[in-house]
C-alpha cells in the first residue's frame, strides 16, 4: 500500500498520546503518514480533503465527524483506535464505533463486549491493540530525575493519586496535604489545578512524560476509574482503586448506581457481567486513611483482582500490531473504496436504480422515469442501505412488480449494499 497516504486525526491532546505511538509503524506500510488536528487547517488537511481514497485513523468520534465533514461525503477508509482502556463509561460501548471500517479495541474485555452487543458486526472488533501502554512503559523505564513534586519525601512515602476529568477540587482539598503526596489531574483541569493551592502536597497536570516519571517513582498509587489507573496497575503492583461520587462535579458518563455501594450496580462494567470488588475498592475515607499512613491489604491491589482481559497486554509490540492490522484492513478495502471515491454521486445513484430495475422488475430501466428515481435516491437523507431497500420495496409494491410475483417469474434479489462509513450503524437502529 505504498501508494496510499495515511492520516492520524486528533481532536484533543489525549488523541495525540494514543496515535503518536503508531506513526513510525504505519510509515512501513504507507506512502506517508501525517498527523492532523482540529486546530490547524494545514496543507496536509487540504490534501486529505481531495485525496483519491485516503486512510484516516481516529481516537475519538469527534475527530471522525470532522474528517467526514471536510471530505464532503467522499469515501475514505476509517480506522478507530481507542484512546483509553478503562471500560466503565457509557461511551466505551457506543454504537457509533460501528461507523468505522475497523475498530481496534484496547483489551479483550472491550472487544468481547462490543461483539456481544453487535454480533452482526463482530469482525469489526476482533483486533486488539493498545499502543499507548508500550509508550508509557518505555517512558517509565527512563532514568528520570526525582520529580520536584515529591519534595523531600523519602521514596517509601511517595503516594500518587490519579484523578479523572471532572474532579471536584473542593473535595481534593479535603484530602491529606502532606509532602510526598502528588495529585495527578486530567489535562483539561489545568485552570482549576492552578487555582488550587496546597501547603505540602502537590497538584500536577498529566502529560505522558510527567505521568510516566511519577508512576515509576511512586511507592503506592491510588487511582479512580481513569485509564491511567489501569495502565499504572501494569507498571506498579502497588496500585489501588477508589470510587466515590464526592470526588466529582457530575456523574462522569457513569450510571448513578456505579457510585452507590448499597446498590447491586456498584462498580458495574456494563454488559460484561463484571463489577468492581466492593471490599477492595476504597471510598473517600479509605483514600484519606491510606494517605495518612494505613496500608490496604495486598489483595486490594488492582493487579490482584482484575479479571483476565480487563487490563491491556504489556507485550512491547502493541504499536507494531496496530500498524499491521491497519495495513491489512486497508489492503482488503482499498480497491472497493477507491472505486466508490472515484465515482460521481450521480453515477452511483444510477447504478443503484439500474440494479433495482433488473433485480426486481427483470428488465432494463426506462427513461426518464429512471432519472427521477435516481434524483429521489440522491435527495433522500436516509442512510444508503435504508434508501436502497426503500427503492427495491417501491418497485416490488408496484403493479408491475406484483404481477411478476404472482406469475412466479420472480426470484428474491441478492442485494449487495456498498456501505459508506456510518451507514451500518444507522441501518441497524
pLDDT tens digit sequence for 161-207:
999 988 999 999 999 999 999 999 988 888 989 999 999 999 999 99
Domain ranges, residue 407:
344-420
The pLDDT value recorded for residue 420 is 45
275 and 359 in a single domain? The answer is no
Examine the domain organization and report whether 97 and 192 are in the same domain.
no
Total domains present in the chain: 3
> Exposure of 367 by Cβ count < 10 A (0-12 exposed, 13-18 middle, 19+ buried)?
exposed
Q: Among 165, 168, 161, 160, which residue's Cα sits nearest to residue 245?
A: 168
Angle separating helix axes 227-235 and 131-140, nearest 10 degrees: 50
How confident is the model at residue 349, as a pLDDT? 87
Same domain, 43 and 149: no
Task: Tell me how far apart the alpha carbons of residues 257 and 262 are, in angstroms, rounded to a whole number.
Answer: 9
58 and 34 share one domain: yes
Task: Give the domain-ending residue among 305, 330, 360.
Answer: 305
**Residue 109: predicted pLDDT:** 97
- Asked if residue 323 and residue 288 are part of one domain, the reply reads no
Residues of the chain with pLDDT under 70: 1, 342-343, 409-429
The CA distances from residue 362 to 291, 402, 403, 411, 418, in Å, are: 77, 12, 12, 10, 21
Q: Is residue 404 part of a domain?
A: yes
Q: Which candidate, 307, 311, 303, 321, places its Cα nearest to that of 126?
A: 321
pTM: 0.80
What is the Cα–Cα distance from 91 to 95, expressed in whole angstroms?
9
**Given this model, what pLDDT does residue 179 score?**
97
Q: How far is it, in rounded angstroms, from Cα 16 to Cα 11?
A: 8
Q: Would 426 be classed as within a structural domain?
A: no
Residues 287, 350, single domain; the answer is no
88 and 142 in a common domain: no
pLDDT (0 to 100) of residue 415: 54
Task: Give a yes or no: residue 427 inside a domain.
Answer: no
Say whether both 231 and 300 belong to one domain.
Answer: yes
What burial letters (b/e) apply to 349-362, b meaning 16+ CB within 10 Å?
bbebbebbbebbbe
Pairwise CA distance, residues 240 & 225, whole Å: 11
Based on the domain organization, do 254 and 165 belong to the same domain?
yes
Residue 196 lies in a domain: yes
Indicate whether 292 belongs to any domain.
Answer: yes
Give the domain CATH number at 56. 3.40.50
Are 64 and 200 found together in one domain? no
pLDDT at position 414:
57
Q: Are residues 57 and 195 in the same domain?
A: no
For residue 311, tell me if it sits in a domain.
Answer: no
Q: Residue 423: its pLDDT value, please? A: 46
3-state SS, residue 110:
helix
pLDDT for residue 411: 60
Domain annotation covers residue 191: yes
User: Does 22 share its domain with 80?
Assistant: yes
Per-residue model confidence as pLDDT tens digits over 239-286:
999 999 999 988 888 999 999 999 999 999 999 999 999 999 999 999
Amino acid at each position: 500500500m505504498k501508494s496510499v497516504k495515511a492520516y492520524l486525526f486528533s481532536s484533543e491532546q489525549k488523541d495525540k498520546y494514543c496515535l503518536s505511538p503508531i506513526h513510525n509503524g504505519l510509515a512501513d506500510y504507507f506512502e506517508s503518514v501525517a498527523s492532523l488536528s482540529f486546530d490547524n487547517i494545514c496543507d496536509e488537511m487540504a490534501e486529505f480533503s481531495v485525496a483519491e481514497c485516503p486512510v484516516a485513523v481516529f481516537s475519538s468520534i469527534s475527530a471522525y465527524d470532522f474528517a467526514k465533514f471536510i471530505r464532503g461525503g467522499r469515501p475514505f477508509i476509517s480506522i478507530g483506535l481507542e484512546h483509553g482502556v478503562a471500560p466503565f463509561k457509557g461511551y466505551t460501548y457506543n454504537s457509533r464505533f460501528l461507523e468505522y471500517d475497523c475498530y481496534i479495541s484496547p483489551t479483550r474485555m472491550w472487544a468481547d463486549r462490543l461483539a456481544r452487543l453487535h454480533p452482526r458486526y463482530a469482525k469489526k472488533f476482533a483486533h486488539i491493540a493498545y499502543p499507548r501502554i508500550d509508550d508509557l512503559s518505555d517512558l517509565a523505564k527512563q532514568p528520570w530525575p526525582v520529580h520536584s513534586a515529591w519534595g523531600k519525601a523519602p521514596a517509601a512515602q511517595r503516594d500518587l493519586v490519579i484523578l479523572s476529568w471532572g474532579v471536584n477540587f473542593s473535595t481534593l482539598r479535603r484530602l491529606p496535604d502532606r509532602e510526598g503526596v502528588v495529585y495527578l489531574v486530567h489535562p483539561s483541569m489545568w485552570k482549576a489545578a492552578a487555582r488550587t493551592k496546597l501547603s505540602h502536597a502537590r497538584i500536577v497536570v498529566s502529560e505522558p512524560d510527567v505521568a510516566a516519571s511519577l508512576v515509576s517513582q511512586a511507592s503506592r498509587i491510588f487511582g479512580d476509574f481513569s485509564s491511567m489507573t489501569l495502565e499504572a496497575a501494569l507498571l506498579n503492583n502497588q496500585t489501588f482503586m477508589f470510587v466515590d461520587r464526592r470526588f466529582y462535579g457530575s456523574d462522569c458518563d457513569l450510571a448513578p448506581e456505579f457510585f452507590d455501594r448499597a446498590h447491586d450496580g456498584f462498580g458495574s462494567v456494563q454488559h460484561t457481567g463484571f463489577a468492581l470488588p466492593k471490599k477492595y475498592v476504597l471510598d473517600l475515607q479509605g483514600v484519606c486513611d491510606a494517605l495518612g499512613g494505613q496500608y490496604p491489604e495486598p489483595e486490594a491491589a488492582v493487579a490482584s483482582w482484575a479479571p483476565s482481559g480487563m487490563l491491556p497486554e504489556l507485550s512491547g509490540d502493541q504499536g507494531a500490531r496496530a500498524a499491521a492490522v491497519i495495513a491489512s484492513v486497508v489492503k482488503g478495502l482499498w480497491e472497493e473504496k477507491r472505486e466508490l471515491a472515484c465515482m460521481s454521486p450521480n453515477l452511483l445513484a444510477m447504478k443503484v436504480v439500474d440494479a433495482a430495475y433488473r433485480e426486481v422488475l427483470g428488465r432494463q430501466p426506462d427513461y426518464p422515469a429512471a432519472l427521477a428515481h435516481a434524483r429521489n435516491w440522491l435527495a433522500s437523507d436516509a442512510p444508503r442501505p435504508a434508501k436502497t431497500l426503500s427503492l427495491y420495496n417501491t418497485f416490488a409494491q408496484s403493479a408491475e412488480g406484483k404481477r411478476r410475483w404472482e406469475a412466479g417469474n420472480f426470484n428474491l434479489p441478492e442485494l449487495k449494499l456498498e456501505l459508506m462509513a456510518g451507514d451500518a450503524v444507522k441501518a441497524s437502529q
